[in-house]
Amino acid sequence: MVQRARRISAIPPYLFAEIDKLKAEARARGVDVIDLGIGDPDMPTPQHVVEALAEAARNPATHRYPPYEGLPELKQAVARWYRERYGVELDPETEVLVLIGSKEGIAHVFWAFVDPGDITLVPDPAYPVYRTGTLLAGGTPYTLPLTPERGYLPDLGAVDPEVADKAKLLFLNYPNNPTAAVAPPEFFAEVVEFARRHDIIVCHDFAYCETTFDGYRAPSFLATPGAKEVGIEFNSLSKPYNMTGWRVAFAVGNREVLAALSVIKTNIDSGVFNAVQLAACAALNGPQDVIERMNKIYAGRRDVIIQGLNSLGWNLKPTKGTFYVWAPVPEGYTSKSFAALLLEQAGVNVAPGNGYGEHGEGYFRIALTVDEDRLAEAVERMRKAGITFTGKR
């Protein structure tokens, strides 16, 4: 009999794998599913980035093992990009580490710092890897509730001081997945002070840094005075440049934290294909108007969904960041039962909020990764099915 390691006994099925199964079952029944579940950009990678990959891949020199911590060219491009876009100065050699997607780096940072029984401070609702990464390292996640009353910012003052003194890592993510909340600079200043007081490493997931609307620009955590002394920031080319499948990202900030993460990585992986890293340089060094064009598209999609749901009884405000809309389920439904209703009766797939933690219960997440016509069709299907915020008519 196959016996699994105890470390995975507490790990639930991955949310998006479960969603894929439900979608497949619906499609097998002949349903034309409008998929608003997974945050995978539908627009192509910019052509100049694709061409850079093709050119680099034709060079046999790129076919060999890459440097473990990333090509110097890419690390320099990251440092320049951070300086120009966020006003953050980075040493490319010691304060930039290339990752095989930010998910990989996020998962491995727990291995670098969390021993069995150690505590991490994890927001809820949140990207599931923060919690599962803690569990796989043998740690104990301590929940930081994110509530609408606080603008989905954790109340650090409510953390038990004894817990905070024992905690190794604090994870944050703004603009936020799944709630689409944003954080003001003064909150990051509070985080730095909290981390100093309790000797905690801050890990800020900045994956949606460039997906912002209506003139809003998301601040980097590392732009906060003292931030580089207490933490790092994970970033990725996945969302800004539609490169989710390319698996190239980076962590930046505190050199001691990055050095420890590098120990894990050099013993587990051999880095990102050189040609992909050179294509990433083309993305970071090339024209940035592609980001503005995509944000205009996402803003239009956001407006279609928010206006559409509000016409069905919701009361949602325009979001400032990410390509998600976070909405409450009607009274009488759980997150899972409402998601099932949408799929079964409207052919619309959304992510149930409880998949992001217990404080996500009662909500669902829409990903704006289909065009405006399909989003409008999704709203119209809900209308025809009698699905409103007051319940199923």
157: domain CATH number is: 3.40.640.10
Asked if residue 9 has pLDDT above 90, the reply is no
**What are the tens digits of pLDDT across the range 283-307?**
999 999 999 999 999 999 999 999 9
* Residue listed under structure tokens 């990764």: 369
For residues 117 and 151, membership in a common domain is answered with yes
Closest CA to 233 of 202, 208, 263: 202
For residues 198 and 159, membership in a common domain is answered with yes
> Which of 245, 269, 285 is the C-terminal boundary of a domain?
285
Q: Give the 3-state secondary structure of residue 178.
A: coil
> Which of 261, 285, 309 is the C-terminal boundary of a domain?
285
In a domain, 359, yes or no: yes
- Can you tell me the mean pLDDT for 193-216? 97
For residues 27 and 133, membership in a common domain is answered with no
For residues 260 and 146, membership in a common domain is answered with yes
pLDDT in the model for residue 240: 95
For residues 169 and 298, membership in a common domain is answered with no
Q: How far apart are the first and last CA of the chain?
A: 50
**What are the tens digits of pLDDT across the range 84-95?**
999 999 999 999
In a domain, 392, yes or no: no
pLDDT in the model for residue 176: 98
Asked if residue 29 has pLDDT above 90, the reply is no
- Can you tell me the mean pLDDT for 58-76? 96
Q: What is the share, in percent, of the chain residues with pLDDT greater than 70?
A: 98
pLDDT in the model for residue 180: 98
Please give the mean pLDDT across all residues of the chain.
95
pLDDT in the model for residue 11: 82
pLDDT in the model for residue 355: 92
Pure H helices in 158-212: 161-166, 185-198
For residues 90 and 205, membership in a common domain is answered with yes
Q: What is the share, in percent, of the chain residues with pLDDT greater than 90?
A: 89
pLDDT in the model for residue 81: 98
| Domain, as residue range, for 121 | 47-285
Q: Which residues contact 26 (CB under 8 A, 6 or more apart)?
A: 33, 343, 344, 347, 349
Q: How many domains does the chain have?
A: 2
The confidence band for 393, taking pLDDT boundaries of 50, 70 and 90, is: low
- Can you tell me the mean pLDDT for 9-36? 81
* Residue listed under structure tokens 């749901």: 309
For residues 266 and 326, membership in a common domain is answered with no
In a domain, 70, yes or no: yes
Tokens of 240: 């800004």
In a domain, 1, yes or no: no
Q: Cite the beta strand spans of 186-316 per DSSP E.
A: 201-205, 231-236, 249-253
The confidence band for 15, taking pLDDT boundaries of 50, 70 and 90, is: low
For residues 269 and 296, membership in a common domain is answered with no
**Region of 38 on the Ramachandran plot (φ > 0 left; ψ -120 to 50 alpha; else beta):** beta
- Can you tell me the mean pLDDT for 107-133? 96
- Can you tell me the mean pLDDT for 244-259? 98
Asked if residue 358 has pLDDT above 60, the reply is yes
pLDDT in the model for residue 21: 79
For residues 162 and 62, membership in a common domain is answered with yes
In a domain, 361, yes or no: yes
- Can you tell me the mean pLDDT for 360-374? 97
In a domain, 172, yes or no: yes
Half-sphere exposure (CA, 13 Å, Cβ side) for 161? 1
In a domain, 393, yes or no: no
**What are the tens digits of pLDDT across the range 219-238?**
999 999 999 999 999 999 99
> Which of 227, 257, 285 is the C-terminal boundary of a domain?
285
In a domain, 109, yes or no: yes
User: The CATH number of the domain where 27 resides is what?
Assistant: 3.90.1150.10
The confidence band for 13, taking pLDDT boundaries of 50, 70 and 90, is: confident
Asked if residue 16 has pLDDT above 70, the reply is no
For residues 250 and 331, membership in a common domain is answered with no
For residues 332 and 313, membership in a common domain is answered with yes
Tokens of 94: 């010691």
From CA 246, how far away is CA 78, in angstroms rounded? 17
For residues 65 and 157, membership in a common domain is answered with yes
Contact 368, 338 (CB under 8 A): no
Range of lowest pLDDT (19-28, 153-162, 288-297, 347-356): 19-28
